[in-house]
Amino acid sequence: MQQENQLNPIHFNENSINLREELEKYMFYWKWLVVSAVACVVATFFYVRYMPNLYEVSTTILVDDSEKGGVTELSALENLGLLGNTTASLDNEIELLKSRSLMERVANDLQLNVQYFSQGRVIESEMFFKTSPVKINFLGDDITLNNEAISFSITIKSATEFEIVENNKAEIHAFGDRLLTSFGPIIVTPYMVDEQDVEKEIIVKISPLKGIVENYRNKIQIQILKNSSVLKISLVDEVKVKAEEILNNLVAQYNKDAVEDKNLIATNTNKFINERIEIINKDLLEVEIGAEQFKTFNRLTDISSEAGLILQNKTEISKKVIDISTQIKLVNYVADFIAQNENELLPENLGFNESGINESTSKYNQLVVERNRILRSANKQNPVLLNINSQVTQLRDGIQQGLVNLKQSLEISLRDIKKQEDLFNSRIAAVPKQEREYRSIQREQQIIEALYLYLLQKREENAISLAITLPNAKIIDTAYGSENPVAPKRSIYYLGALLVGILLPLAIIYVLLLLDNKVHTRKDIEQVVKAPILGDIPKTKSERKVVVSDTDRSSTAESFRLLRTNVDFMLSDRKAASKTIFITSTLAGEGKTFIAINLASVLALTHKKVLLIGADIRKPKIAKYLNIQAPNKGLSHYLMDTQLKVVDVIEKVPSIKFDILESGIIAPNPSELLMNGRFDEVLAYGKEHYDYVIVDTAPVNSVTDTLLLGHHADLFIYVVRANYLDKRMLDIPRLLYAEKRLPNMAVLVNDTDFEKGYGYGYGYGYGYTESETKKPWWKKWQH
C-alpha cells in the first residue's frame, strides 16, 4: 500500500467534475471550432447578401364605432332620422378587413398574381408594375389567368421593340402589338423605358389568385392602438411601393363596402316612397276630378255660409278624422309592404304616432344590414348569422303585430270621433245634400293631399341622407414605409452563424466523446484498476522503436528514465541480486514489445546486464522492432530441443547494449512448450548471469501463456495503451490485481497524448531539454 501511495500521489474524487479538464477536452479541437465558425459566417455572408430586403409598411385608420355612426357636425340631422344607428365592433371590423372577399378584390384590382422580376447576376429581384419598365395588359379570360401558374420573360431591345420568351420560344415584337400566347392574348406597353433598360430581362410570373390572396391575408397584421378605435394595419413585403398600394387599396375597398351598406336603408326607403307617391298621385287626381264634376253638375260655388257656426265646431272633429284616417292608410301601406317584401329593409320615420314601431323598424334595418355584411365572409350556418336571423324574425313579427294593434286603436278612435261628427250632422240636417256630399269629397281630397305632401317631404330628407353618407373608416395616415428594411437582420444572422459554427462542432465532439469508450488517461485507469501506476509513455512521432539513448532528452526518453526509477522502487524489497520483470497487456498491439525493448535499453544505460526474452512465441516482434536479422534459433527451439543450451539461443548484438533471447519459430503448441520446464531453466540462467531479466509475454486476454509463467516474475508490468483499449476491458487487469494472479503487478500507460490537454497533464523534460515544448495557445497564460 505504501508503494501505491508513493507512485500515485494524486487522488481524485471520482464523483467530482474538473471543469478545466472538461474544457480542455473541447479546446483540443479549437482549430475545428475556428474553421467551423469561419465557414458558417462566410456561408451566412453569401446567404444574407442575396436575401431580399423586407420593408414594413403601415397605415392607421379611425373606425367609426359610435352609436350614431356619424360625426358631431351632423348631429343636427339626427332628429330627421337621416343618420343610421349602427354599432361597429372593432373585432368585427378587423375580421372584415382580413376577409378573403375583400383581399380578393384588392388582388384583382392591383393584379397581385402578376409579378415582375428583374434578372440579376445571381438572383431575381421583384418589382411592382408601377416601377417596371413595361406593363402587361391581359386580354384573355380571367379564369385562366387566375388559376394557372405561368412564367415568361421579356427582354427590352429598344424603345420600340422587345423580345418575349415563352416555352423556350423567342419572338421579337413591337410595343403595342397584340400577341397570342398559351394563356391568351396580351399587349405589352412601355411604362418607364429608358436607355439603361435596353437588354434588361424582365421575368413575368403569373400565380393562381387563390394562393396570392391567402398569402397576403396571412401577412396583413392589424392591431388596436391604446384602447382606442384606431387600427394600425401593417404589411411586410419585398417591394415597399407594392405594399403601400395594397394597404391603400384595402382601406379604400373597405370604405366602399361600408358606404354601400349604409346606403342600403336609404335606397330602399327612397324606393318605397317613390312607389307610394306614384299611387297617391293617381288617387289625388281622381278625387280632384270627382270634386270638379260634382261642382259642375250641381252648379256650386260656395256653400259654407249656411252652416258656418256648426261647421266651425265641427272643424276640429274633421281634423281629427283626417289625422286618424291618414295614420290608418299609412299603417295599411306599411303592412302591405312588409307582407310583400320579406327580407327587404323597411321604410323608417314615416310619422307614426306610435314611437315603438319607429324604434323597432330602425333596429330591424340595422340587423338586416349587419346580416348582409357578415354574409359576405361567412356561410349561412354561421352561429352569428343564425342569431341575427332569429332577431330579425322576432322584430318583423313584433312590427307586424304593432301595426295591427295601432290600426285597431286608430279605428276605435275614428269610430268615437265619427259618433261626435254624427251628432253635429244631425244638427245640420237642414244643410243641403249637396253640402254634405261635397264635404265628403273635400275630406277625401285633403287626406290624400296631406299624405302626398308628407311623402314628398320624406323623399327630400332621404335624398339628403344619401348625399351625406360617410365612410366607415377615416384615414389618419396613408400607407407609408421606411427606407430601412426590417429584415433580414444581418447582425442576428451573423451571430446565429457564429453560434452554430461553434455549437455544432461542440455537439459533434460531445457525441463523439460520449460514444468514445477508449482509455485515454491515467485517471480512466485509476477509476477501475487500483494497482500502482508506474507512469505514462507519451506518443512519439519517431519511426524508431528504440527511443532511448545516452543523448536523447525527448519526452519519451525521459518517460522511460522515470519508468526505470519507478521499477527500481517497486523492486526495492526484493533481496535477490537479479530481478525478473514480466511485461504483458490485455490485447495485442498495446506496445508491450516496444516497452520491453526500451525498458531494457534504459536499464542497460546504467551499466547493468540486461537480458530481453521474447516469450510471446505466438507472434514474435523483437527482431523486427530492433531492425536486426532474426536469429536461427530462439526460445521455441530451446523449449523443443533438449540438446540446446541457453547460451546457444542468446544473441549478442554489438549495436545493442543488452542481450536478446528471441522467440524463435512459431510453434504449433506454445502453451505445452512453456509448461515443459525448460523455460524455468532459461529464467534460472538469466538470474545467474544478468542483473535484469525482461520477459515480453503474450496478451492475457488472448492466450493463457502469461498466466502460466506469471509466478516467476518479481514485477509484472501491465501495459495499457491509451486511445486504443476499450474501458470495458479494464475489468481484466482489475480482476488480475484483485485476485493477485499476477505478482507485484503495476500498470504502465502507453501512447498517451499530452497535447490534448486533459488528464493529469504530466509532461516530461521539465524544461531541461534543449528546446522548450510548444504549448497550446490556451495554455500560454499559465506559468
DSSP state of 644: -
Which is more confident, 127 or 10? Answer: 127
The three grid cell numbers given for residue 730, joined into one nine-digit string: 479494464
Q: Mean pLDDT across the stretch 326-332?
A: 83
Find the helix packing angle between 209-219 and 100-110, rounded to 10°.
Answer: 120
- The torsion angle over the Cα atoms of residues 443, 448, 451 and 452, rounded to 10 degrees, is -140
Q: What is the pLDDT of residue 441?
A: 78
For the chain, what percent of residues have pLDDT higher than 70? 84
Identify residue 751 by its one-letter amino acid code.
Answer: D
pLDDT at 333 exceeding the cut of 80: yes
- Between residues 90 and 689, which one has the greater pLDDT? 689
The DSSP 8-state label assigned to residue 472 in this structure reads S
How many Å apart are CA 192 and CA 132, to the nearest integer? 7
Cβ-defined contacts of 445-448 (< 8 Å, 24+)? 445/284, 445/287, 445/288, 445/291, 446/322, 447/322, 447/325, 447/326, 447/329, 448/280, 448/283, 448/284, 448/287
Q: Average pLDDT of the chain?
A: 80
- What pLDDT was estimated at residue 87? 37
- 303-307 average pLDDT score: 56
Please check the confidence at residue 46 and state whether its pLDDT lies above 70: yes
The confidence score (pLDDT) of residue 410 equals 82
Q: What is the pLDDT of residue 612?
A: 94
Question: In this structure, what C-alpha cell is assigned to residue 444?
Answer: 277625401
Given a contact cutoff of 8 angstroms between Cβ atoms, the answer to whether 598 and 547 are in contact is yes
Residue (of 614, 260, 293, 624) closest to 471 by Cα position:
260
- Residue 466: what pLDDT? 67
Q: Check pLDDT > 70 for residue 301.
A: no
The pLDDT confidence band at residue 209, using thresholds 50, 70 and 90, is: confident
User: How sure is the predictor about 783, in pLDDT bands with cuts at 50, 70 and 90?
Assistant: very low
- In the prediction, which pLDDT does 77 show? 37
CA 413/CA 326 separation, integer angstroms: 13
Task: For the beta carbon of residue 408, count every other beta carbon within 10 angstroms.
Answer: 11
Range with the lowest mean pLDDT among 1-15, 427-441, 509-523, 711-725?
Answer: 1-15
- pLDDT cut 90: percent of the chain above it: 15
pLDDT-derived band of residue 155, with 50, 70 and 90 as boundaries? confident
On the question of pLDDT at 664 being above 90, the answer is no
pLDDT in tens, 688-735: 999 999 999 989 887 777 888 888 899 999 999 998 999 899 999 999
CA dist., res. 404 & res. 548, Å (int): 125
Q: What is the mean pLDDT of residues 641-668?
A: 88
Closest by Cα among 766, 739, 296 to 554: 766
Better-scored residue on pLDDT, 428 or 478: 478
pLDDT confidence tier of residue 533, bands split at 50, 70 and 90: very high
DSSP string, 355-416: HHHHHHHHHHHHHHHHHHHHHTTS-TT-HHHHHHHHHHHHHHHHHHHHHHHHHHHHHHHHHH
Question: How confident is the model at residue 300, as a pLDDT?
Answer: 58
Q: List the Cα angle 352/356/360 in 5-degree steps.
A: 100
Q: Please indicate whether residue 564 or residue 13 has the higher confidence score (pLDDT).
A: 564
Tens of pLDDT, residue by residue over 2-45, are 344 446 544 445 555 678 777 877 888 888 989 999 999 999 98
> d(Cα 69, Cα 77) in Å, to the nearest integer?
13
Question: What would the pLDDT profile of 569-592 be if each residue is shown by its tens digit?
Answer: 999 887 778 899 999 999 988 999
> What pLDDT, on the 0 to 100 scale, is given for residue 13?
53
Instruction: Look up the pTM and report it.
Output: 0.53
In this structure, are residues 578 and 625 in contact, taking their beta carbons and an 8 Å threshold?
no
Burial class (CB in 10 A: 0-12, 13-18, 19+), 96: buried
